Amino acid sequence: MNFSKMHGLGNDFMVIESITQDFVISSTKIKALSNRNTGIGFDQLLLIEPPRSSKFDFHYRIFNSDGNEVEQCGNGARCVGLFLVLKHLTNKKIINLSTNKKNIIINFISQDIIEVNMNEPVFSLSLIDISEKLKNYNFSVIKIIDDSLSCSLVSLGNPHCVIQVESVKNAPVKKISEIIEKKNIFPNGINIGFMQILNKNYIKLRVYERNEGETQSCGSGACAAVAVGIAKNILNKEVKVELLGGILLIKWKGFGNPLYMIGSARYVYEGHIYI
């Protein structure tokens, strides 16, 4: 099986296409491949498949390093777009992808700077898997650790919990995230973003991804944080997001409009492995 290693701002991927090659892979094998000491090492495995409808150019799936399939990956979408072009699987500058939850549109601004239409953020709690005790909340702000900590919930095809902090450097990201996980508020897990607002056009962000831990970058997490800030009218409609691995530009005109993410994608190396 041929594969490519790629990354978006340090969020790294094993990218496989099943268009010209056939294979079956298990969650056990994904776990083994993701191991950074004995395998290839990656945050997510991205699988590109033929389109499931004539409306789309390709279908793509995302698997976390623990083998579980998830709904969305913003950094991964940019890498998939670059992969398709580098492999001459398409010559289009605008690529329409379907995922298990939503379709996304990739637009090449330059050779490796890519804009992704992430669709409109969804703030309805009915679309986020939460425990029964939160069902009565009408908007996205909820108390998650007694009354001492609240967060805002939003979905970009995958669920996000955004917590505003004074300093991302000093935020106890791992400790708070593990408390949230143990309280089982979100039965299927949730991505947790810690947002520091420097000004209305610039934020810093750290993200603890479900089943992964903290990563260098999370594209959908950046989109979620900015969406929350704009919905609360504390951020402008164009925001730079500084993550551990680099900077993304997020644009959103507000409710009724799609949200756009702009950032880089990088090819690292090509390989093949016997499965």
Catalytic residue among 73, 151, 161, 223: 73
Mapping DSSP to helix (H, G, I), strand (E, B) and coil, where does residue 44 land? strand
In this structure, how many other beta carbons lie within 10 angstroms of the beta carbon of residue 2? 14
How far does Cα 161 stand from its chain's mean position? 13
Bridge partners (DSSP) listed for residue 115: 107, 262
Which run of H or of E encompasses 86? helix 74-86
Alpha helices in 87-218 (DSSP H): 173-183
- Both tokens of residue 240? 């730079």
Catalytic residue among 79, 151, 161, 218: 218
Angle at the Cα of 269 from the Cα atoms of 268 and 271, rounded to 5 degrees: 150
φ and ψ at residue 32, rounded to 5 degrees: -65, -45
Is 151 tagged catalytic?
A: no
Q: Which residues are catalytic?
A: 73, 218
